[in-house]
Structure 1
Amino acid sequence: MRAIRVASAALLTATALTLTAPPVSAAVAGEENITSFGFRVTPSAIAAGGQVTLSVDGCEHNARVTSGVFDDVTLPKGQKTATAKVFWDAKPGAMYEVTFTCGPESGTTDLTIVGGQSNPTHHPTPHHTRGVKAGVGGSSDGFDAHQIALGGALIAGVLGTAYYWTRRRTGQDGS
């Protein structure tokens, strides 16, 4: 009888660990960002009004960098870095998409705006914006098979454990 309990506990533990393990590939179809050239924004999180460094590696064309949080920047062929000043009215906590284009290829990365401004007395000037890269929130993002399976396994585990302990106690009471 003890062996059955140990085997059941081991099986339940192995199942829970398997379902909660991160997937081997975190990339979602259509969201791959592979280019023949390298690119980055440094730092990746900055306050409104701050300055970022835009870098490209291996681009054999003029590189163009666009975002809704700073003016467009062009890096001539052979130039690897440039700077851009983040707009003063960038929303703290927002994530903006930065697009690097080299010839026919494009790649994107994110730039997060952290709280506070470098110069709070500055009055923002009008500029052309492309908008914020905002998510859909946690409640309407769609269904993820791993989350559904994990939730189902947890519910089944709780119900199975409750049933086991309920049946075990009624058997001991002699009822």
Structure 2
Amino acid sequence: MRAIRVAAAALLGVAALSLTAPAAHAARSGDITSFGFGVAPSTIAPGGEVTLSVDGCHRRTTVSSGVFDTVVIPRGQSSATALVDRDARPGTVYEVTFRCGDESGRTDLTIATGHPTHHPTHHPTRGSHAGAGGTLAGFDLQEIGLGAALVAGSLGAAWHWSRRRPEDESHT
């Protein structure tokens, strides 16, 4: 009976660990690149302005999407802006493609409801790479916390089940 409980606890632990794998961040083909890229904000109203950023591309970067005109980020610069089409349909997710030399990567841009937002921004030619806001190495901190809670819970349950004595079974 004890071996069954230990096996069940081990299986529960393995299942919890497999659930914490970053499946949500599994890359689509072409998304693993030697350069970093991003769109900010990732949700914008029709007619709004987005900042297109690239890091680690030592060539000119071409950025294209069905929701704005093609933009070129010149070699030696890290960002450019694009004006989202005013007739973009709210609630639609558009793919944005960054091409640096022979490599390309994709990310999504969501069209929100509301009025366009234009924020005056200063874009230095050489800024520091600060990462993507709210993430840690591309992982969402909320997902990391949930995964850690699942692992801790399954390890606690496994420890509890493995420590139960036969006399404890009469109370269950």
RMSD: 2.8
Find the aligned partners of 2:82 and 2:44 in 1 and give their Cα distance.
12
> What is the Cα deviation at residue 13 of structure 1?
7.3
5+ residue gaps, structure 2, are: 118-172
Matches within 5 A, 1:10-159: 18-19=14-15, 22-26=19-23, 28=26, 31=29, 33-118=31-116
Letter in 1 for 2:80: A
Query: Per-residue displacement from partner, 1:25-78 (whole Å, max 9, x unpaired)?
Result: 525575462211111111111111110001111212111000011110011111
Find the aligned partners of 1:92 and 1:109 in 2 and give their Cα distance.
18
Contact 2:68 2:85 in 1 (8 A): yes
Identity of aligned residues (%): 51
Normalising by structure 2, report the TM-score: 0.55
> What is the Cα deviation at residue 116 of structure 1?
2.2
Normalising by structure 1, report the TM-score: 0.54
> What is the Cα deviation at residue 80 of structure 1?
1.2
Higher relative CO (CA 8 A, sep ≥ 6), structure 1 or 2? 2
Closer, same or farther in 2 for the Cα pair 1:49/1:61, shift >3 Å?
Answer: same
Contact 2:65 2:96 in 1 (8 A): yes
5+ residue gaps, structure 1, are: 120-175
Contact 1:88 1:117 in 2 (8 A): no
Closer, same or farther in 2 for the Cα pair 1:9/1:94, shift >3 Å?
Answer: farther
Number of aligned residue pairs: give it: 115
Closer, same or farther in 2 for the Cα pair 1:23/1:99, shift >3 Å?
Answer: same
Closer, same or farther in 2 for the Cα pair 1:30/1:46, shift >3 Å?
Answer: closer
Larger radius of gyration: 1
